[in-house]
Structures are given as C-alpha cells and as structure tokens.
Amino acid sequence: MFSQSILYLILQLFNIIIGLFINIYLAQKLKPEVFSVLAIYSIIIALFTTFTYMGYEQVLIRNVLNWQEQNKKFWIKLNITYAIITRLIMSIIILPFVVGYAYYMDIINYGHKYFLYFLAFALSGIFFALIDSLGLILKSFNEYVKFFVISKLSNIVIRLLSIVIFINMGFNSFLVALTFLPLIVFVFAFYEVKEFIDYKLLNLRLLLKFKKYKYFIYTNYLNYLKINFDQLMVSLFVKPEILGMFNFCKRIEELGRNTIEGFFDPIIQKSVAFKSKVSDLANYINKIFKIQKIVLSLAIVTLIILYIYVDKLILLLKLSHFQYLNKNLLFVSVFLSLYIVYKIKSDLIYIFEEQVKIFQLDLLTNILNLIFTISFIYFVSQNYIYFYRIINGVVILVMFFHYYNKKFNIYNKMRVI
C-alpha cells in the first residue's frame, strides 16, 4: 500500500537536496535585495496557479478513482478538458492585474531595472497555471510519481539548469531561463493527459458548469491566504533585503511542505478507493495516523538539533549576510512540525466533506489568519517576521481538529462529490 509513497518520498528527498543546494547557492552569491527579485517571481507564479483555478481538478481528485471503477469515462474527459480550458481563460483575465502589481513593485523597490523580467515572469505564470492543472489531474489518478515529476521535480530541474546559466552567463540570463524553460515542462505534461482531452465537448453551457463547484473555487482562493498571501504582503511593506531573507525562509518551508506532502498525499488519496467500504476505510485511516506519529517524532528530533546548531549552520553555509535568519529558520521548523500534526485530518475533510462546509471552515480559519498576518507584519519587529507562521499553524490546527473531532463523520460522507 505504501510502495508509491516510498518511491515518491525518495524523489522528494532528491528534490529537497537539490532545492536546498539551489536556494543556498543563490543566497550565497546574491545580495539580499537582489535575491528578493526571486520572491517577485514566486509571487507572480502563485497568483497565476491560484486564481486560474475553477474547481474541476478538485472534483477529479475526489472522484476519478471511483469513476474508473464504474467506467464513467465521459465524466473524466469532461472535467479534464474544462480544467485545462478554464485555466487558460482565467490566465488571460488576471494578466492585467499581475502586470499592474509587477509595475508597482519595479517602481517602488527596484528603480525600473526589472520590469521586462517581471513581464516575462507573467508569461511563465500562464505556463505554470497549466502545469499546475495537469499535475493535479495526474494526482487524481493516484499517479503521484508523474505528478511529482511534473509539479515539483520539473521546477527543481528548471532552477538547476538556470543555475548553470547563471554561473556562465549571469543573473539576467538566469531570469530569462526561469521564464521560458517551463514551456518544455508544459509540453511533456500535456502529452501525459492528452488522451482524456476532447475539444468536441466544448460549449458555453458546459463551460458555465464551474458555478456548480464555486465553493471549491472559493476554498482554493482562501488557501492562497493560508500559504502565499504573506509573501505578497511582505513584498509591499518591507525593504527588499528583508524580503530576500523572508523569501529564503519561504523556500525552505516550501521544500519542507513538499516533502511532507510527498510522503502523505499518495497514502491519503488512496482512501478515495474505499468510499463504499466503511470498515476498510476505518482500518486504512488508523494506519495513516500511526505513520503520522512516527513522522512527527522524527520532526521534533530534527527541530531540537536545529535549535542547538542553527547559528553554526548559518556560518557554515555562508548566509550570515541575511539579517535575523537564525530565529526565522527556527520558526519555519516549528511551523512544519505543526503542519505534520494537522495535515491528515485536514486532508480527509477536504476529500470527503461537502463543498459548502469546507468553504465555511476555510473562510473562518483564513479570516483569523489574515488578521494575525496583517497585524504581525505591521506591528511586530522584522526580527521575528516569520513567527506569524507559527500562529497560523496553531489556528489551522485548532480549527481543523475541532471540526474533525466534533462535527465531521467521515463514514457519512461516502457519496459526497
């Protein structure tokens, strides 16, 4: 049952090693304010991958394995086709807003030096939106190795190739490579799902079907507040050198979350196959929680070691030019431990609960987190800028644990779409 998870975890370990190398190498070679340009890149990509989402991928994640068993090929093709088409349409719609943000940031922080590159980042964002959709589609088929290669490993390979270009041709060429290499990934990802794409299904009535999934859409947008909104806020209100340090911590958090998801996601996704088998589902979930306890124990040991040696580690990696990095790296580690604690229950809620209830839970959770995030950025010393993620993690943990234990009965949700 866990063979794919183990292979996926091995790939994730490769991903985190290469990812750490890339982030540390760039952080060593670039001044913090120049390193912050990569934060703008990440922000623009996140805007496209988030706000082009129309809910079709979540419907696939919740149902494809079951539809395959019932031979419902039409519904699979319909949702895959519209997932991709709506991503492209929404990319065109949000493009002017992203360009406006890029122009503002270039004026305020960079003296008109990087606007053309920021425009190129926006073009790259369209490809990343399509790649995100294609990756989630493969995830719905429980094809986690392919999902990882397309959604995670390809991004690392892009950055690794860009590093080679950076060494030989400089920072500007590095930015160009970051922009256009995703096109290659898109072509490969599209090939993997093209058999399920049927343009004959396109018509306006079916295109408007996304309204049925509006709460999936709202929930995904709320997840932006939970994961990426902080970086957008920080970019608007702090100096580039602080944004550079924050971006480094954000990349470390992202690598940590990807590793955790890389192990747990294939295991959790397989629970969809037991939608009509209550006793099998109960046994399967119990096994997941036992594995969670082991992983959490390892995370706590790692956190203790980091607490003891964080200053020596920063000196060893030649990152002491990033102010306040030691404290904020510890905050990243604490947040990742909290993420392990709440991930299983939150994922099961997302898979089995009704759309509207997920949205209500996410809305309340994210309103609280938004208040904490804005307050923290405005009123707390920049020395501790990443501490708000611990507050976010505690809020999410409390909200989802309360809902799972008090209001959520997974065995009454077997037929929910």
Residues 6+ apart with CB under 8 A from 205: none
CA 261/CA 343 separation, integer angstroms:
9
- Residue 364: pLDDT over 80: yes
Domain ranges within the chain, ordered by starting residue: 3-412
Instruction: Report which of 44, 43, 26 is spatially closest to residue 35, judged by C-alpha positions.
Output: 26
Query: Residue 295: pLDDT band by 50, 70, 90 thresholds?
Result: very high
Mean pLDDT of 299-320: 92
CA 193/CA 195 separation, integer angstroms:
6
Contact 265, 61 (CB under 8 A): no
Predicted pLDDT of residue 330: 94
Q: Using one digit for the tens of pLDDT, what is the confidence trace for 245-291?
A: 888 898 899 888 888 887 888 888 788 777 667 777 788 888 999 99
Kindly write down the DSSP assignment for every residue of 296-324, as one continuous string: HHHHHHHHHHHHHHHHHHHHHTT-TTSTT
- Residue 417: pLDDT over 50: no
Q: Using one digit for the tens of pLDDT, what is the confidence trace for 179-201?
A: 777 888 888 888 888 888 888 77
Kindly write down the DSSP assignment for every residue of 83-130, as one continuous string: HHHHHHHHHHHHHHHHHHHHHHHHHHHHTTSSHHHHHHHHHHHHHHHH
Q: Using one digit for the tens of pLDDT, what is the confidence trace for 320-338?
A: 888 889 999 999 999 999 9
Residue 30 CB: number of other CB atoms within 10 A?
Answer: 18
Q: Using one digit for the tens of pLDDT, what is the confidence trace for 130-188?
A: 998 998 888 888 777 777 777 766 777 777 777 778 777 877 787 777 777 788 888 88
Predicted pLDDT of residue 293: 93
Mean pLDDT of 349-369: 82
CA 178/CA 121 separation, integer angstroms:
8
Distances in Å between the alpha carbon of 158 and those of 58, 289, 397?
A: 27, 35, 34
Contact 13, 154 (CB under 8 A): no
- Residue 59: pLDDT over 50: yes
Tell me, what DSSP letter sits at residue 149?
I
Q: How many helices and strands in the chain, by DSSP H and E? A: 17, 0
Three-state DSSP state, 236? helix
CA 99/CA 108 separation, integer angstroms:
14
- Residue 4: pLDDT over 60: no
Query: Residue 209: pLDDT band by 50, 70, 90 thresholds?
Result: low
